[in-house]
Amino acid sequence: MRAKVGSSLPPGDKHGVSVYIPTWEDTEAWGRRDPELIAQLKTGYPRFFVPLVVNELAERLLSWMSGLPWRLLETEFRDGLRQSLKEPGRSAMLITARHHAKDPQRYLEKQLTRAFVFVVDFDGDIRPVKKSENRSDLNEISVVVYPPRGAKEAKAFWQHTGFDSFSAEDNKLKKSDVLLYPTGMSAISHIHDIISLYTTTTKRTIAIIGFFGTQSDLETLEEELAAGLELCALFTEFPGNPLLGSVDLARIKSLSDEFFFLFVVDDTVGTSVNVDVISHCDVVWTSLTKMFSGGCNVMGGSVTLNPKGRGHWDMKRRLKDRYVNTYFPLDMMVMEENSTDFEERVIKASQNAVHIADTLRKHSSVGQVYYPKGSPTQRLYEKYKRPGKGYGYLLSIRFNTPAAAIAFHDALDVAKGPSLGTNFTLGCAYTLFAHFHELEWAEKYGVVEHLVRISVGIENGRFLDEVIKTALDAAERASKK
């Protein structure tokens, strides 16, 4: 693929939600935040990169605020904000919904950092956000101003909150059981907010089954629950990313019913086309940014409530009571257009992925291919696979030597960068992107440093065969050195 380091994926799309990082060396530079590499980024993966135009708008708003007649603002708000704006290195976070803007303010102030929130509308009117406000207006922007010492905490909040379907025949969903959000992280953050309403002084634990939960892990969980562990909720993926292992959803749901905790499943990798998870959990969370869109140029997330799930009506009421539609209309239009052929694309990408996995497993330089078909947990995946459907579009590869992994990655002539679920094939050095500062920890769970992940697209099979063969040839040469 011919493109410049740091350019948008898809190429030339200013709304692209991935970025071209072509070589292993480039990925390592990204992981250690090398200034030379970072300076070349024109875009990036949404949770790790604030769009340049957003940063520019934030700085313009702060500069504009600094030059306004202060007498027009309320005294207490005016004095604090004025002092904050004068501080060198101050920054701002832009939020769509007013009540969401209060959340980072509370978070930052818990970290001993003063923060101010104000609303600017397109007419230039400015005012502080009151605590009781719980609405949104697409003709305005909420601005959270914070000093330089709050930069790290502000980024952490933004990254992990995202504020900025099918079922079994006897378990039919209604439209009202599905809620849309502007990003996947926003969707899961709202689930977490609702769960927090159910916590008590003794029942505060939320469990996460990570890369994939083994049979032993589930047995340990069951023992701990029987011994008195009280869970509010348990989250997992199906299948897991990046090792593509599958957990026994029905067994966890049984534990959920017995020990009274909420069971939430992320089906982004599996997709509702290939697997039925809604019948075996309480809530399904999906990043629509991925294969549902496929275009890699718009974001979205969804929360789907199982009509027969734990506390269905109460959760539904609470989510709707707190729901504020901040999904930008043009984003909705792009998402709707992109998703029209969702099922066909999932089927095609899954077929391509099965073929690539088979090819990789036959090669001497490959140690292991992580893919639901052919994995130790294939039986569990098939337990929830829809009749006649596939094993998904995502796979990962562990090579016999680091040199082979690097050679394969660099010779793989496809788009390379973070994200997954794109219509075009997208490769990456997964562990360097996701766990650069915790490599030893990740390796304990089988996620080795030199893992190569491929999100397989819907290209012509012959083209993909040639691309994979060229990369495998490079891996073989590297193995012999």
225 contact partners, CB below 8 Å, separation of at least 6: 231, 255, 258, 259
Token couple for 420 = 């997954």
CATH class (in words) of the domain with range 8-45+342-480: alpha beta
| Per-residue pLDDT at 152 | 74
394 neighbors 453 (Cβ within 8 angstroms): yes
CATH class (in words) of the domain with range 175-340: alpha beta
Q: Which residue has the tokens 């504009």?
A: 64
- Give residue limits of the domains in the chain: 8-45+342-480, 52-161, 175-340
Token couple for 333 = 């239009």
| Per-residue pLDDT at 377 | 95
| Per-residue pLDDT at 131 | 58
**In the chain, which stretches have pLDDT less than 70?**
47, 68-80, 82, 97-100, 111-113, 130-138, 158-171, 198-205, 209-213
Full-model pTM: 0.80
Q: Would the CATH topology of 8-45+342-480 be identical to that of 175-340? A: no
| Per-residue pLDDT at 269 | 98
Q: Which residue has the tokens 């010492």?
A: 149
| Per-residue pLDDT at 359 | 98
Smallest CA-to-CA distance from 339 within 271, 292, 270 is with: 292
| Per-residue pLDDT at 165 | 28
| Per-residue pLDDT at 166 | 28
Helices in 11-118 by DSSP H: which ranges? Answer: 24-31, 35-38, 52-66, 75-86, 98-110
The b/e string for 112-125 (b: 16+ C-beta within 10 A; e otherwise) is ebbbbbbbbeeeee
By residue count, the chain amounts to: 481
| Per-residue pLDDT at 356 | 98
410 backbone φψ class: left, alpha, beta (φ>0; ψ -120 to 50): alpha
| Per-residue pLDDT at 169 | 39
| Per-residue pLDDT at 112 | 57
330 neighbors 297 (Cβ within 8 angstroms): no
